[in-house]
Structure 1
Amino acid sequence: MIEPQTDPKIRKRREVLTRFLRQEAAAQGFDLCRVTLPDAIPDAPHRLQAFLDAGRHGTMSWMEETKERRADPRVLWSDVRSVVMFGMNYGPDEDPRHLQALPDKAAISVYARNRDYHDVMKGKLKEIATRFAARAGADVKVFVDTAPVMEKPLAAAAGLGWQGKHTNLVSRDFGSWLFLGSLFTTADLEIDAAERDHCGSCRACLDACPTDAFPAPYQIDARRCISYLTIEHKGAIDVALRPAFGNRIYGCDDCLSACPWNKFAAAAREMKLVAREDLKAPDIAFFLTLDDAAFRTHFSGSPVKRIGRDRFVRNVLIAAGNSGSSELVKACEALLGDPSAEVRGMAVWALSQLLEGSHFETLRQAALGHETDESVREEWMRETDRCI
Structure 2
Amino acid sequence: MVGEPRLIAALRGEAERLGFAALGVCSADAVPQAGARLRQWLDDGCHGEMIWMESRADARASPKGLWPDVKSVIMLGTSYAPALDPLRLAGQGDKGVISVYAWNRDYHDLIKKRLKALARWLVAEAGGELKVFVDTAPVMEKPLAAASGLGWQGKHTNLVSRDHGSWLFLGAIYTTLALPVDEPHADRCGSCTRCQVACPTDAFPAPYRLDARRCLAYLTIEHSGPIPAEFRRPMANRIYGCDDCLSVCPWNRFAKASEEPAFLPRSELTAPKLAELLCLDDAAFRALFSGSAVKRIGVKRFIRNCLYAAGNSGDMALLPAVQAHLGSDDPVVADAAAWAMEALTA
TM-score, normalized by length of structure 1?
0.88
Contact conserved, 1:44 with 1:72, CA < 8 A, in 2?
Answer: yes
Task: Kindly provide the amino acid, as one letter, of the partner of residue 227 in structure 2.
Answer: I
Please state how far the C-alpha of 1:24 moved relative to its aligned partner.
1.4
Letter in 2 for 1:331: A
Whole-Å separation in 2 of the counterparts to 1:202 and 1:110: 23
What is the aligned partner in structure 1 of residue 166 from structure 2? 176
Pairs within 5 Å for 1:75-154: 75-154=65-144
Q: 2:51 aligns with which of 61, 71, 84?
A: 61
Q: Which has the larger radius of gyration?
A: 1
Q: Deviations over 1:186-205 (max 9, x none)?
A: 11212100000000000000
Q: Does 1:46 align with 2:50?
A: no
From 144, 152, 172, give the equivalent of 1:162: 152
Q: Partner residue of 2:269?
A: 279
d(CA) in 1 for partners of 2:14, 2:178: 17
SS in 2 for 1:349: helix
Q: Whose helix fraction is larger, Structure 1's or Structure 2's?
A: 1
| 1:232 shift after superposition | 0.4
Q: Distance in 2 between the 1:197 and 1:281 partners?
A: 35
Deviations 1:330-359 (A, max 9, x none): 000011122322211100111011124xxx
Q: What secondary structure does 1:129 align onto?
A: helix
SS of equivalent residue, structure 2 residue 155: coil
Partner of 2:342: 352
The equivalent residue for 1:217 is: 207
Distance 1:283 1:14 in 2: 55
Counterpart residue number, 2:195 = 205
Q: Partner letter of residue 84 of structure 2? A: E
Partner Cα separation in structure 1 for residue 10 and residue 187 of structure 2: 29
Structure 1 CA distance for aligned equivalents of residues 60 and 123 of structure 2: 24
Give 1:27's match in structure 2, choosing from 17, 20, 36: 17
> Which whole-Å deviations, capped at 9, do the CAs of 1:65-103 have from their partners, x for residues lacking one?
111110100111111111000001101112211111211
Q: Which moved more, 1:125-134 or 1:299-308?
A: 125-134
Amino acid at match of 1:121: I
Alpha-carbon shift at residue 25 of structure 1 (Å): 0.8
Structure 2 Cα separation of the partners of residues 102 and 128 of structure 1: 43
Q: How does 1:1-16 map to 2 (within 5 A)?
A: 13-16=3-6
SS of the residue corresponding to residue 102 of structure 1 reads coil
Number of residues paired by the alignment? 346
Classify 1:197/1:182 alpha carbon distance in 2 versus 1 (closer, same or farther; 3 Å). Answer: same
- The residue identity in structure 2 corresponding to 1:297 is A
Q: Secondary structure, in 3 states, of the residue corresponding to 2:23?
A: strand
CA contact (8 A) 1:15 1:189 kept: no
Say what the alpha-carbon RMSD is for the aligned residues. Answer: 1.0
Tell me how far apart the structure 2 counterparts of residues 271 and 206 of structure 1 sit (CA, whole Å). 32
1:241-280 correspondence runs (5 A): 241-280=231-270
Tell me what 1:17 maps to. 7
Amino acid at match of 1:157: A
* Distance in 2 (alpha carbons) for counterparts of 1:307 and 1:296: 11
User: Shift in Å at residue 222 of structure 1?
Assistant: 0.3
Matches within 5 A, 1:334-353: 334-353=324-343
For residue 296 of structure 1, the aligned residue among 274, 281, 286 is: 286
Aligned to 1:333: 323
Amino-acid identity (%): 56
Deviation at 1:15, TM superposition (A): 2.5
SS at match of 2:131: strand
Alignment pair present for 1:195 and 2:168? no
Ranked by relative contact order (alpha carbons within 8 Å, sequence separation 6 or more), the top structure is 2
TM-score (norm 2): 0.98
1:323 aligns with 2:317: no
Q: Is the 8 A contact 1:14 1:188 kept in 2?
A: no
- Structure 2 SS opposite 1:100: coil
